[in-house]
Amino acid sequence: MSLYPIKFTPLYKYRIWGGEKLKTVLHKDYQEDHIGESWEISDVKGDETVVSEGVLKGKTLRALIEAYKEDVVGKTVYNVFGAEFPLLIKFIDAKTPLSIQVHPSNEIAKERHNSFGKNEMWYVMEAEKDAELIVGFNQQVDKTSYVKALVSGQILDVLNNDTVSKGDTYYIPTGRIHAIGAGVMLAEIQQTSDITYRIYDYDRVDATTGKTRELHTELAVDVIDYSVSDSYKTKYTKPDHATNTLVHSPYFKTNIVNVKGEMQKDYTALDSFVIYICVEGEFELIWNDVPYKLVKGETIFLPALIDAVTLQSTNADVLEVYY
């Protein structure tokens, strides 16, 4: 049984802030209301995505790594992580704002939760007029002034709000306070972790529980990065029919690929899996003379042993992710 370009069946997650765009814009197949997240590729325990087609259909990513080892993820990734997959790929639709939150570092997450930390990045796919993201602080604060603002109900006054549009990209390292605002749909690439410290949640009551959601005030105070930046947005260019750097971090690397016509991709020198996320348009990936079609909102996983593929499109934007 040999490996091939793999699509996984997404997992759909109810969220108090979820809307309908994953269904109406990305054509995801679910019936429930308030679906806020589509987990495209996941190795989170209890939430493992499974292969959707081909001879490996029904197998989890973990099972593939256990069976094929570095042929799936590359020697470096396998040596570091073993059968654990280091990344979680999502689409997120926020009808109303997410909670103000922060994620712990690898070291603190390991110590407190026996988990990876949660460094992540956002690529905005759709944004309604005046939609915003909260990223970082808008003024210098320290632990004392932060707690004072939180307790007095003025926390929103010290946070940085950016009005966003399609294509805007943000890297969110652990410790950086953040929230997705209403009217934003985005692709999220992150470490495999579901550890979030919720700081402020607008006093919302979850209709499924009749209660407000738990806050993690004390846990968050010690992990927040209190520094302030002039700009939190990632600057990049997107030349036609080319690949360009988007976010390169110690945890994952993401490029933006614009495909207009036919493009050859050679991964012979890359010791890693590759994930393609279609964020605009549609394209065909061709491997061994077999075409795999992807439309906006679809994701495909290339095992590390696949060295070369061809991409074809009249005009598509694709996120290319690897370790």
Give the CA count within 13 Å in the CB-facing half-sphere of 265: 25
Q: Which amino acid does the sequence have at 288?
A: N
The region, left, alpha or beta by phi > 0 then psi within -120 to 50, assigned to residue 311 is beta
Q: Which of 176, 198, 204, 213 is catalytic?
A: 198
Q: Which two tokens stand for residue 78?
A: 């396998």
Is 178 within any annotated ligand binding site?
Answer: yes
Q: Is 103 annotated as a binding residue?
A: yes
Q: Among 79, 13, 82, 3, which Cα is nearest to 46's?
A: 13
- Is 15 assigned a catalytic role? no
Give the pairing of strands 184-191 and 253-266. unpaired
What is 217-259 written as a DSSP string? HHHHHTT------S--BPP----TT-EEEEEE-SS-EEEEEEE
Residues 22/35, Cβ–Cβ less than 8 Å: yes
What sign does the CA torsion over 177, 319, 168, 33 have? negative
- Report yes or no: 49 and 39 within 8 Å, Cβ to Cβ: yes
Q: Which helix (H) or strand (E) holds 47?
A: strand 47-48
Tokens of 173: 């390292």
Q: How far apart are CA 36 and CA 58, in angstroms?
A: 24
Annotated binding site for Zn(2+): 103, 120, 178
Give the catalytic positions in this structure.
198
Extract the annotated binding site. Answer: 103, 120, 178
